[in-house]
Amino acid sequence: MAATRRVLIIGSGGQLGRAVGQAFKARQWLTFGADAHAAAKAPVTHILAMDSGSAPEDQGRQLVSELQRKLGSERLDAIVNVAGGFAMGSASDPAVVANTKAMVESSVYTSVIAAHAASLALRPGGLLILPGATAAFGPTAWSLPYGAAKAAVHHLVRSLADMETSGLPAGVKTIGLAPQTLDTPQNREALPAADRGSWASLEEVAEQLETWCADPSAVESGKVYVIRKANSLPATFEAKNPMMFFASNFENS
């Protein structure tokens, strides 16, 4: 029998998070799930508390402490953070500051908590996956909150790949995941006329994440993987430098 593999999923109660939990459970992982908003919905072996009302440093401490208690002398093979939300808002939007706070809390603080948990509980050679965004490769005047938070996550990805200084166990790789539109009930309702053949399904994204976590050897640390899909063909995942402009963004800017 193969050794038990262990993954921590942050944002495990969200739509992508639930698909991730299912994909890992289906392949016999022991799954630990944490979510500030909907942990109870997560299809995971163990739910870890993450109190959205407390300060991020307290959330982090509580998460790590519960995780270590449940792990005992074992270590995680992977940490997958798929927390995050979405908000619009240019400078003139009355909600731009409040939305920035929401995006920072859901994407940036959870990613730093994930990195800190990785430093304490991830096995050498394990994989850490953080929630990036295709939008953050270029300017996002239409959403300062979303773009700024995701640019910060991309910066964490490239910083954590610096193995000498990162504070992570030896050989740990860190990557970002940058979805474009995913095929969810909400997106089907919001964009009824869209070309769904370019939308990756939650299942195919979750299965790719599991594949990477099961064997990170092909993964390039410090890159953000952009999900691409066209004509209903299987989604592909393209490694990009976190801070690089796309040609299309560059032309528009």
Q: Least Å distance between CB 95 and its own copies?
A: 8
Say how far apart CA 163 and CA 52 lie, in whole Å.
31
CA distances from 119 to 78, 86, 114, 115, 222 (A): 12, 28, 9, 6, 16
Which residue intervals of 27-109 are DSSP H helices?
56-71, 96-103
With binding defined as CB under 8 A, does residue 80 bind its own copies? no
Three-class secondary structure of residue 70 per DSSP:
helix
**Contact range with its own copies by CB under 8 A, out of 74-82, 101-109, 208-216, 228-236:** 101-109
Q: Which two tokens stand for residue 192?
A: 């009824």
Q: What are phi and psi of 134, to 5 degrees?
A: -55, -35
Residue whose CB is less far from its own copies, 109 or 199: 109
Which residue lies nearer to its own copies by CB, 236 or 241? 241
Considering only residues 168, 177, 219, 227, which one is a binding residue for its own copies as defined by CB under 8 A?
168
Distance CA 155, CA 142 (A): 21
109 catalytic, yes or no?
Answer: no
Select from 158, 196, 228, 240 the one that contacts its own copies (CB under 8 A): 158
**Residue 180 CB, nearest approach to its own copies (Å):** 19
R_g (Cα) of the chain, nearest Å: 17
What distances in angstroms separate CA 138 from CA 15, 41, 242, 247, one per listed residue? Answer: 26, 34, 10, 9
Q: Which is nearer to its own copies, 18 or 223 (CB)?
A: 223
51 binds its own copies (CB under 8 A): no
The least distance separating its own copies from the CB of residue 92, rounded to whole angstroms, comes to 3
Tell the burial category of 41 from Cβ atoms under 10 Å away from its Cβ (0-12, 13-18, 19+): middle
From candidates 222, 223, 225, 227, binder to its own copies by CB under 8 A: 222
Catalytic residue chosen out of the listed positions 109, 146, 212, 225: 146
> What is the binding site for its own copies (CB under 8 A)?
55-57, 59-61, 90-93, 95-98, 100-101, 104, 108-109, 112-113, 115-116, 118-120, 136, 139-142, 144-145, 147-149, 151-156, 158-162, 164-168, 222, 243-245, 253
